[in-house]
Structure 1
């Protein structure tokens, strides 16, 4: 009987463990309470959530197969893989995002004066200052910051409500953005915002012609409390290699700062108006608004040759008289090399036809 009693006791323990392990999935499957908040009001609540502090654990899954070049390896990895994000967020200019992959761990610490990037395995700390133009980084994939960015210029007519769901154990209200711009390669953006604070908890981006998200980022766990300043701050530990990043502006800044012939970019490309970016180099053009953006910059010959080879080797690459271009989900990337002048890199969330139209206009632009 004693053996039988022990077996029963263990069966109860096993059952309890099974129930505890299943709780996160059960909570996520619980129906979420929806409200009749209008789409435009929910957008406003999302944008007003910038002051909400939090910490949590998120995952981001990207399906953007970008070519790997000397200038783009980190971006290609960031937007092509499934990554884990540990986040401590005190504000837009004070936060920490740790990226955890099978290859190791990288911490990005942002403060008002710039950014520390800490490579744990190599014990290397990089310091860079603020920049008006830069390549995407881990903080850009945090659902809260990405959701606000994507909705920041959304017009009322582009928005609709899509019900509610449970995200990270919280009721999240759904908001869909369908861009109006004809040149847009984005079919829709779905943002799921915390019903209590407006904080975006999950974001899905679907490309034109796609059925699954090209980018899907969401919280799995979330604590809506401001994390301590000491958790976010960073000081290089003794023995660490420390180096300054000369070009915090990223690829486009590097291209524009080179000794290149000045160009006169048009005021409109592919039906998208040029916009002003404070502090951006004059040689760089940014066009469009909302989720439909197109960037243009002249590039030096060495970089052009590297990018040309990488693009030509990518699946689905198109090479014609205008240049070489690829698409990766909603993102288009093209190298334009007009005869008798330097090369341009053209990239953005626009259709292949819009890329070609922009390339044709650039080949005719006066220098």
Structure 2
């Protein structure tokens, strides 16, 4: 065991050193001149959306600056959007890929297939099987530049897009396309996506909140090889001695969905149209499109009271007759308690003023006015 421990220590020391070198490279490489090309923004968007099945492998890093006020059940989500996450990726397609999160303490790999994901915690020898669900909580693979860039551009209109020149990312000339949301309620100033023109793969994504000089989220490739990795790398079978368990992460959201009381939510809130998503409990309302999204749900008192207390501890929190609300970068949260009725939670990439407007339009509050 001692020999194994020394070997593991040396291995992670080497990985840590490599990650440190890779993280240090982007500012140096990015300073080199990049070659631009006369490619329209709409054409770049089309290339990004068509790149889903392009195979590649590489390293990426995601850095977030959001201090999300969440409960203990969701600390992993808060860490994901507030810390630096280093990832090694093997991508054969959206339903056949592997993403290893590398830290000083060890490695956790996520292997996705057509029916779900395996999460392999190397140091704990634990394999967790999770099914794919529409309300899965965000995970490191969701912040890969290729996945995030494609998702954010997928509903953008041509009028929201503009070219912004070129820069060097992961040693490649990347063409820039800027998404400026049209919705008045949005809390996102802009999204800059830097695209490899040969493959269409987004190499870097920066999300800026309104009136912010630094991105609230910056995810980029540090190294990229465009070639289909072998299937034995992305596939996963738990080793004989592994502890195998069933994933429970999404149950936090689903349990809230099962316990909400039925409310006839309106077709529009804060100027955003309601949208339908398969598998979402009917009591949860989803509004908006693209990068401007709002979710609202009537929730149990215990959940609302805990979240309200967490929000109220922040010096930036606003409490008035509508409820308690706060903004963390482009993400806003609000707890609403109508008189004599059950509470609501509202959250999304909208401004706190938009949350207040949406809260005032909820059935029980609107009827009381």
Regarding TM over 0.5, the answer is yes
Whole-Å separation in 1 of the counterparts to 2:154 and 2:223: 25
Q: Where does 1:124-139 land on structure 2 (aligned, <5 Å)?
A: 124-139=126-141
Give, in whole Å, the separation in 2 of the partners of 1:176 and 1:270: 25
Residue aligning to 1:271: 271
Give the count of matched residue pairs: 345
- C-alpha separation in 2, matches of 1:348 and 1:298: 15
Distance in 2 (alpha carbons) for counterparts of 1:125 and 1:341: 43
Where does 1:1-367 land on structure 2 (aligned, <5 Å)?
27-246=29-248, 248=250, 251-258=252-259, 260-362=260-362, 363-364=364-365
Q: Is the contact between residue 145 and residue 202 of structure 2 (CA under 8 Å) also seen in structure 1?
A: yes
| Offset, 1:341 | 2.3
Note if contact 2:257-2:281 (Cα within 8 Å) is conserved in structure 1. Answer: yes
Q: Residues 41-91 of structure 1, C-alpha deviation per residue, up to 9 Å, x if partnerless?
A: 111111111111111101111001002412311100000001111111111
Mean CA deviation greater in 343-352 or 213-222: 343-352
Q: Cα deviations across residues 95-146 of structure 1 (Å, max 9, x unaligned)? A: 1111123444322111111112223333322211111122211111000010
Per the alignment, in what secondary structure is the counterpart of residue 308 of structure 1? helix
- Contact 2:261–2:283 (8 Å) recurs in 1: no
Q: Secondary structure at the match of 1:342?
A: coil
Q: Are 1:264 and 1:365, in contact at CA under 8 Å, matched by a contact in 2?
A: no
Q: Secondary structure at the match of 2:184?
A: coil
Distance 1:322 1:129 in 2: 38
Instruction: Find the aligned partners of 2:290 and 2:84 in 1 and give their Cα distance.
Output: 25
RMSD: 2.1
Counterparts of 2:252 and 2:336, CA distance in 1:
16
- Equivalent-residue separation in structure 2 for 1:199 and 1:323 (angstroms): 42
Q: Tell me the distance in 1 between the aligned counterparts of 2:106 and 2:313.
A: 28
Counterpart contact for 1:336–1:345, Cα < 8 Å:
yes
Going from structure 1 to structure 2, the CA distance change for 1:222 and 1:207 (only over 3 Å counts) comes to same
- The higher radius of gyration belongs to 1
Task: Encode CA deviations 1:243-271: one digit per residue, 9 max, x unaligned.
Answer: 213463x544321112x321111111110
Is this contact kept in 1: 2:187–2:292, CA < 8 A?
Answer: yes
Shift of 1:299: 2.0
Task: Give the 3-state SS of the residue equivalent to 2:278 in structure 1.
Answer: coil
Quote how far apart the aligned CAs of 1:26 are: 6.0
Question: Does structure 2 conserve the Cα–Cα contact (< 8 Å) formed by 1:86 and 1:97?
Answer: yes
Query: Which stretches in structure 1 are left out of the alignment for 5+ residues?
Result: 1-19
Distance apart, 1:340 and its partner CA: 2.3
Cα distance in 2 between the residues matched to 1:257 and 1:70: 20
Summarize the Cα distance change of 1:309–1:25 in structure 2 as closer, same or farther, 3 Å threshold. closer
State the 1:27 CA deviation: 4.8
- Measured in 1, the distance between the counterparts of 2:204 and 2:310 equals 32
- Partners in 2 of 1:365 and 1:118 — Cα distance? 48
Residues 322 and 337, structure 1, Cα contact 8 Å, conserved in 2:
yes
1-structure distance, mates of 2:85, 2:25: 24
Tell me if structure 1 keeps the 8 A contact 2:145–2:205.
Answer: yes
Unmatched 5+ stretches in structure 2 = 1-20
CA deviation map 1:290-342 (0-9, x unaligned):
11000112222222222122212234112222222111110111122222222
Whole-angstrom CA distance in 2 between matches of 1:105 and 1:314: 33
Structure 1 pair 39/308, CA: closer, same or farther in 2 (3 Å)? same
Cα pair distance change 1:235/1:298, threshold 3 Å: farther
User: Cα offset for 1:25?
Assistant: 6.8
Mark the CA change 1:281 to 1:26 in structure 2 (over 3 Å): closer, same or farther: closer
Contact 1:312-1:324 within 8 A present in 2 as well: yes
Q: Give, in angstroms, the shift of residue 153 of structure 1.
A: 0.6
